[in-house]
Structure 1
Amino acid sequence: MILSVVRNWIDAEAEHKLYLSNIIKKFILTIESACGPQRAGRMECYYFVKDVEKLVLSHELKDILLSIDVFKEYKRKAGVISDMFVKEVERVFNYKRFTVKGPKWNAYALCWKSKARICPYCNHAYAFTVQSESGDFRPTLDHFFFKDEYPHLALTLYNLVPSCSSCNSSLKGEVDFFKEKHLNPLFDVENIEFYLSAGGAPSELDEAIQNRRIDVLVKAKAVKECSQSENSLKTFAINERYETLSMEAVDFYLAKKNYDEAALNTQFSFKFDETALLRFDRANYSRYLLGKMYADIYDALSR
């Protein structure tokens, strides 16, 4: 995770809660009004859904984590019919149905209300939604806690991270973020910092950048050491990906340094507009592709 998008879904909370609560209520009513025997695993699913209803509707991480513990315990107690129990849970929290376009609440309507423009996992791919006469497209919704492993969270709002397909499918895949902790864009603060490095001594860095030496690379590290940050750097191949973006980092470094020098030159009688010249607003870095990298370079030059 590069960007924090805490409360990303604040504008969608009411509508999504109504959508999900109606699904749960319909399932519970169906079971309670049914006559005769039920499919194996269905009654276990019924009791489970009643137990976790408030948890899966919650916007709190502690409740989401608690629901996973409850699910694992139900699955354990189901024994030989555990697979059937899981299938019933998947039927209730049907994510595929949610992704179908239509006039009602669905993944497209949800993504339209997302506040994130950029994939928070990598910060170098867009994650916005477009609706047009030619067609619609939206970001992929990553299930932070893998829906195939925890199917009851398939529709939980704060388990859905708007992301790019490279991060969601190519890199994350089926990594279990419950067992292997990672930074969560929807709950955690930012803890990844970018910096420029060259092969020589640190004192030679500015000269290396000025001369655009090929050994100048952009790197990422955790501000505060923690396993979540290290796992995020590794899973999303942040250092490997950003090394290929060293040219953009060097260009920004030089632009910012040239601007600072020009702004200090008293021979100029006109006022410089930093945002216009750099094409970057430090205060709104999260709105830009590579914005976190640019912000960290900006801050390093401003010290």
Structure 2
Amino acid sequence: MIYINPEDKKIKDALDKHSKAIYCLVNKKIYGITYDCENKDHNNDSCLTCKQTSKLRTAVKEDIISFLKINLKNIIVNKPIQLKNRQNIFFEHFILGFNDLELDKYLKCKKKKEDDRNFIEKDIFNRYDSIFTQIKNIFNYDVFTDTSKNYSAYNLSSNLDISTCTYCNRLYTRTVINPNKITRPEFDHWYSKSKYPLLALSFHNLIPSCHVCNSSVKGTIDLSLDEHFHPYIDSEKIINDEIKFSYYNKSLDTYGFSMTHSSSKAKNTIDAFKIKEIYKTHEDEIIDLRKIRDTYSESYLQNLSNLYKGVISEEEIYRLAFGVYLEEAKFEKRPLSKMKKDILIELGIIKNGKE
């Protein structure tokens, strides 16, 4: 997993742009033409998000409108640790007898045909569904992914500017937005949007990731901040110290990855995203690193450093030699940076993070 530093200027700027656009999007859906845009230009003209958004065709309950009037900005910008509590407060207020166990039962019985639901399931469905439907309509993620909109998932990913998958650091997830919106990372909902619809457009709940991690691996797995790392919370030092790549001999000239961890959160994170399993496709990288170690000895980088001393920096030599970044804060810029650094340290080619 790659740490996303919320104090980085580009992340702060992305949060600011996201919060302004989503605030207008949601309010325009609720109030329609009566909403007075908060992001008007110098000509006192409404923003494009407001111009492109129409009022919902179905009415929103007045008490929901009142709740969002007070809480909407917090729902959009709150830190991960506050988000789940924010939704729980909402549903406890609007759904009689709300609790996590009933919520899980609602999600299960929703998949059933009406005639197949028993009495208890019908009761749960009737209490939950109307509120869930209204919230899903208001915080509609599909609208956010519409490429025709002035502000969409493409803009968020471009503003975040994170080059590789946050979860696995295996694949590039760069955004191509000009001249057309061509490709971007998927956004994983840390708290799944099916279970946490109020958080479907919350900034810290939208994690840029590759398709494998978002859809094939994680899906709707219920993650917990107490049991898993979160890229906006757990620092790069914690993540990189507690999760380590290693290797072992499968046969004479073949190798496999192994993972070490120093906490239950680290282990749960490795397991949830199947890091060990998906890295099997990169076992040939170990062969290449071993060849360097066996051919040039542990002094490989030192020899290169002596050769190009005064010409290029040690960090540049490392990047040119192995195609990845040495600094942990730059791991997101190149795929496999975390894995290669861990293996190179184990091979003795770099020591204590340096050559």
Runs of 4+ in 1 over 4 A off after TM superposition: 27-30, 38-41, 132-135, 262-266
Alpha-carbon displacement from aligned partner over 1:32-90 (angstroms, at most 9, x marks no partner): 99xxxx97972353244245324312242232132132134135327743210110111
CA distance in 2, matches of 1:196, 1:249: 8
More moved, 18-27 vs 256-265:
256-265
2:319 matched to 1:279?
no
1:291 is matched with which residue: 333, 337, 341? 337
Tell me the alpha carbon deviations over residues 5-45 of structure 1, each in whole angstroms, 9 at most, x when there is no partner.
Answer: 23273231221111122234345646x99xxxx97972353
Task: Check the 8 A contact 1:139/1:162 in 2, yes or no.
Answer: yes
1:188 counterpart residue number: 234
2:166 to 110, 113, 120: 120
1:205 corresponds to? none
AA of the residue aligned to 2:258: K
User: In structure 1, how many angstroms separate the alpha carbons of the residues matched to 2:161 and 2:293?
Assistant: 28
Instruction: Choose the corresponding residue for 1:254, options 273, 291, 301.
Output: 291
Q: Which one is further off, 288-297 or 63-72?
A: 63-72
1:9 to 8, 11, 28: 11
Q: What's the % identity of the aligned pairs?
A: 24
Deviations 1:173-208 (A, max 9, x none): 111224984221122221321012236xxxxxxxx8
3-state DSSP of counterpart to 1:245: helix
Change (3 A) 1:274 1:147: closer
Letter in 2 for 1:275: R
Offset at residue 129 of structure 1 (A): 0.4
Question: Bigger shift: 70-79 or 12-21?
Answer: 70-79
Q: 2:89 aligns with which of 57, 63, 70?
A: 70
Amino acid at match of 1:217: G
Matching of residues 14-53 of structure 1 within 5 Å:
14-26=16-28, 29=31, 42-50=61-69, 52-53=71-72
Does the CA-based 8 Å contact 2:172-2:334 persist in structure 1? no
Paired residue type of 1:105: Y
Distance 2:75 2:30 in 1: 15
Name whichever of 13-22 and 244-253 sits farther off. Answer: 244-253
Distance 1:75 1:177, change over 3 A: farther
- Partner amino acid for 1:236? F
Consecutive unaligned residues in structure 1, runs of 5 or more: 200-207
Report the count of equivalent residues: 282
Shift of 1:133: 4.3
Q: 2:204 aligns with which of 143, 155, 158?
A: 158
Q: Which residue matches 2:256?
A: 217
Question: Gaps spanning 5+ residues in structure 2: where?
Answer: 36-56, 99-123, 310-316
Cα pair 2:171 2:335 within 8 Å, conserved:
yes
Q: Tell me, yes or no, if structure 1 residue 147 matches structure 2 residue 198.
A: no
Q: Residue 177 of structure 2: which of 106, 131, 148 is its match?
A: 131
- The residue number in structure 2 matching 1:55 is 74
Deviation at 1:259, TM superposition (A): 6.6
The TM-score normalised by the length of structure 2 is 0.69
CA distance in 1, matches of 2:73, 2:303: 61
* 1:138-174 Cα deviation digits (max 9, x unpaired): 1111111101111111111111011111111111111
| In 2, Cα distance between equivalents of 1:264 and 1:13 | 42
Per the normalisation by structure 1, the TM-score is 0.80
Alignment partners' CA distance in 2, 1:13 and 1:60: 11
Q: In the TM superposition, what whole-angstrom CA distance separates every residue of 1:206-259 from its partner, at most 9, and x where no partner exists?
A: xx8xxx533x2121222x312x32222122211112233222023124335627
How far apart, in 2, do the equivalents of 1:39 and 1:108 lie?
28
CA change 1:108–1:218 in 2 (3 A) is same
Q: CA 1:98 to 1:116, structure 2 compared with 1: closer, same or farther past 3 Å?
A: same
Higher relative contact order (CA 8 A, sep 6+): 1
2:331 maps to amino acid: Y
Q: Secondary structure at the match of 1:117?
A: coil
Once residues 9 and 29 of structure 1 are traced to their aligned partners in structure 2, the CA distance between those partners, rounded to angstroms, is: 30
Task: Judge conservation of contact 1:71–1:150 (CA < 8 Å) in 2.
Answer: no
Code of the aligned partner of 1:126: Y
Where 2:160 maps in the other structure, the secondary structure is: coil
CA contact (8 A) 1:90 1:152 kept: yes
